[in-house]
Chains A and B, each alone.
Chain A
Amino acid sequence: MHGKLGSVRTFSFIFTFIMMYLFWLLNSGVFEIFYMSLGLACALVVAYAFHSRFTLVKDYRHALKSLIRFAAYLPWITWQIILSNWDIVKRVLSPGMPIDPCIISFQSTLKSDIAMTTLGNSITLTPGTITIDIDYDGTFYVHSIAREPADSLLTTPPCEMAARVGYIFGESRKWN
């Protein structure tokens, strides 16, 4: 038990350290020994202090799988962001201003914190909806600018976005 926990901590420490040092190098752009060792010291301190908070995926054997699936999810969510902006632009600039705000809630089957966070952020980024609150049991409260975005979020009963996010973190099967 202790050994497994220890290896997870080592992994998260090394991962955080590499990310922090890369971030330092790319931001400084000065590759002299003095500045690079300064960055090394800073990255070590930061990694020591924050590695348990920085590495969100606790089981690192699934982390790579999740990362690949998340990369596959990105094009879809980007397209959704563009659609959402087009939707808002239409609503803002049309003379009649067709808005009908309402608040809906729905239950999702997601369990882990990171899956719920990802779904909450995705809902906020997609057409006309903003996450207000998430309960521990996976209930989402969503503010919607009009009826149609809310309906499109709810109608397909295991809603597409929740299924996609659940698939990323291995909590539900493939969405189609």
Chain B
Amino acid sequence: MIEVLRLTLVIALLSIGAFLMLTAAVGMIRFPDVYSRMHASGKCDTLGLSLMLGGLIIYQGFDLVSVKMLFIIFFVLFTGPIAIHSLFRAAIKSGHEMWTKDGWIQWKKGNNK
């Protein structure tokens, strides 16, 4: 019984994680510009990966391998936002245009909208 519950949890976590990754991919295609695409890929990837690894940890049980997977979750959670942020800054610095409802604009620090 416990085993069935455990495997159900594992399957649920893996499926939700995979679904989030798929959503990130769909968002990459559907969203209009660099910046909103980063919203889709950055966030869903971070949680999707963490959930999938969490499922694998439960499947593995508690040993050194699952500790390593815990490390991966930890580092992804810390470096994910930093990676998005630096990509974002690079896109702004090189002058990519931003899509808004009123059309494409070029944002620079200082002239706030």
Contact = CB atoms under 8 A, between A and B. Distances in A.
Chains A and B form a bound pair: yes
Interface of A: 23, 26-27, 29, 81-82, 84-85, 88-89, 91-93, 97, 99-105, 120-121, 124-125, 128, 130-133, 141, 143, 145
A173 to B, nearest CB: 26
Q: Taking chain B's interface residues, is the majority helix, strand, or loop, or is none over half, making it mixed? A: helix
B64 A88 contact: no
A120 B85 contact: yes
12 contacts: A81-B43, A81-B46, A89-B23, A91-B27, A97-B30, A100-B100, A102-B100, A120-B85, A121-B81, A125-B43, A132-B89, A133-B109
A82 B32 CA distance: 24
Interface string B90-113: 001000001111000001010011
Contact of A101 (B35, B46, B89): B35
Contact of B39 (A26, A29, A104, A128): A128
Contacts of B89: 132-133
A82 B46 CA distance: 11
Interface in B34-51: 35-36, 38-40, 42-44, 46-47
A25 B33 CA distance: 45
A141 B89 CA distance: 11
A103 B43 contact: no
B23 A125 contact: no
Interface in B12-36: 20, 23, 26-27, 30-33, 35-36
A133 B93 CA distance: 11
B81 A124 contact: yes
Interface residues of B, number: 39
A104 B100 CA distance: 13
B58 interface: no
Contacts of A125: 43, 46, 80-81
Nearest to A77: B77
Contacts of B6: none
Given A97-B30, A130-B85, A130-B88, A124 B42 contact: yes
B100 A92 contact: no
Give the one of B26, B43, B88 with max A CB within 10 A: B43
